[in-house]
Amino acid sequence: MSILGITNDKMTGKKVAIIGVGLTKFGELWEKSYRDLITEAGVKAISDAGIDGIDVQELFVGSMSPGLFAAQEHIGALVADYAGLTGIPATRVEAACASGGLALRQAYTSIMAGRNDIVVAGGVEKMTDVPTGLAMTALMGAGDEEWEAFNGATFPALYALMARRHMMEYGTTIEQISMVSVKNHANAKHNEYAQFQFEVSLEDVLNSAKVAEPLRLLHCSPITDGAAAVILASEKKAKEICDNPVWITASAMATDTLALSDRKSLTQTNSAILAAKDAYKQAGVGAKDIDFAEVHDCFAIAELLAIEALGFCKIGAGGKYTEDGHTKIGGEHPVNTSGGLKGKGHPVGTTGIAQAIEATLQLRGTAGKRQVKDANIGLTHNVGGSGATAVVHIYRRD
């Protein structure tokens, strides 16, 4: 039994597969509504899976703050309605920026429990139709309203605190942090769905406008519209209808204090450390076995914290590990081949599902110019807030 409540598939003999994926373009999509986006992603996923919509038995949708962003609540029913799936259980899932990852986990759990054979996990956010100030208010809802937001903190400020402490404790340089943005933009250039399909230089990042010292504009993920959906199936059903399933071999989640000030360390995301430990145990693998990872780089410093928490390098060594090229495609642990949140974009409720889609494309061998050679095991790491929630999934090709 997992320490966090998910039964190990090696013990039960059960397996869950991703059999279909659907993704919209990410960006400032003013011509498309909230419901347009999730409908597009869902239709693409069902088509990719080669199933009929009537085969779907349950639906989970990650969406962080649709009430503030799009003046729309009651999301489960809305998505079921527009997907032509009324009648089935449909649930909105919220865990701040980890809402998509948690929706995937809920869908996985539904199949592992033996309740269903085909389940949809989706994510959607429409963020650009409101003024920036309102968007920032909505996003800060992922932090501690009383102790952080009320006192003027923003998420750039919180991650800036983490960056400054990491620099002080471990000698991490602003250049090393900036290399995350350079790498992820280079990967996004080859992702047709990415918001920013262009490269940036180290000088571009270092000379971009200051947001919260030491973070510059090009260290920060953008405000984004977009949706994503995946179709999950039991082993029996997957083998009946799919020639190239991607197997989810672990689903783990952990939490930490909501307020950054209450944490034992500003430079370690304990929720991610715990979730990764549990995921590795479930899958029967270690960090060294991971061929690629999609991690939650909402700010460039967050990618360094992620690769340390996942065990790709020692705590404090993320900057040097990145500088040495280990996280590039072709490196020891390619990270954010999709472009990550920085290059691909970050429609917050969508991100966890989009990460799963990149993992699926990599394991199918269909990621094009950003393909990781001989990819067999992938990992996704989705974070809510400044690290109060972390969801980690591990995937295999065979």
Task: Spell out the long-range contacts of 78-87 with Cβ–Cβ below 8 A and sequence spacing 24 or more.
Answer: 78/35, 79/35, 79/38, 79/42, 79/122, 79/124, 82/35, 82/38, 82/39, 83/38, 83/39, 83/42, 83/43, 83/53, 83/59, 83/120, 84/53, 85/53, 85/56, 85/59, 85/120
CB atoms within 10 A of CB 140: 19
Map residue 108 onto helix, strand or coil: helix
Spell out the alpha helix ranges (H) of 246-370: 270-283, 300-309, 318-323, 340-344, 351-364
CB atoms within 10 A of CB 175: 13
Neighbouring residues of 81: CB distance < 8 A, sequence distance ≥ 6: none
Q: Which of 140, 179, 171, 170 is nearest to 303 (CA)?
A: 179
Map residue 176 onto helix, strand or coil: helix
Crossing angle of helices 75-82 and 34-49, in 10° steps, is 60
DSSP conformational letter for 225:
B
Map residue 60 onto helix, strand or coil: strand
| Active-site pick, 97, 220, 298, 313 | 97
Map residue 212 onto helix, strand or coil: strand
| Active-site pick, 296, 346, 381, 393 | 346
Burial call 8-20: b when 16+ CB within 10 Å, e when fewer? bbeeeebbbbbbb
Tell me the HSE value of 23 on the side-chain side, using a 13 A CA sphere: 26
Q: Which of 358, 390, 372 is nearest to 268 (CA)?
A: 390
Strands (E), the chain: 16-23, 58-62, 90-93, 118-125, 210-212, 215-216, 226-234, 246-255, 292-294, 377-384, 389-396
**Whether residue 97 lies in the annotated active site:** yes
Give the whole-angstrom CA distance, residue 336 versus residue 343. Answer: 9
How do 210-212 and 118-125 pair as beta strands? unpaired
**Whether residue 346 lies in the annotated active site:** yes
Residues with a known catalytic role = 97, 346
